[in-house]
A = this chain, B = another copy of it.
Amino acid sequence: MAYSIGEFAAIVGVPASTLRYYEKEGLITPRRDANQVREYEEGDIGWTRFILHLKGSGMSVEELKSYTEWRAEGDKTIPQRLDLLEKRRQLVREEMQKLQQSLDLLDRKIEFYREKPNNPKLVFAYPHP
């Protein structure tokens, strides 16, 4: 049971053009039939969702390329992959902290604007360092 690029695109939720682009970058390599037409398999779904998820965490196509190459080389590259994942985890943690600070600022500013109509002379105190 194989999927055409259009079907597969609908399953994983990205345009076919993106799948072709990712393939050019080496991230997903489906088999081809006798007419060079791509045939995606059931098993490609999990891997594709995984790399889309990593992308969503901020990982670049370059990094995903490395990860994909290491994966193809087998278990001896687990340390490299762990390293990449741990670095990403750290970056995600930092990004979340930054967003938390943004959220705090937004909350304060929103509160400020809600007060201001009752108190027009209010001035927003941007926290100086």
Contacts and interface: CB of A to CB of B under 8 A. Distances in A.
A99 B102 contact: no
Interface string A81-121: 11001101100110110111111011101100110110010
Given A113-B85, A126-B50, A106 B78 contact: no
How many copies of the shown chain assemble into the complex?
A: 2
A106 B57 contact: yes
Interface size for chain A: under 10, 10 to 19, 20 to 34, or 35 or more residues? Answer: 35 or more
Nearest to A101: B53
Given A85-B109, A102-B57, A109-B85, A126 B92 contact: no
A107 B102 CA distance: 25
Contacts of A106: 57, 85, 88-89, 92
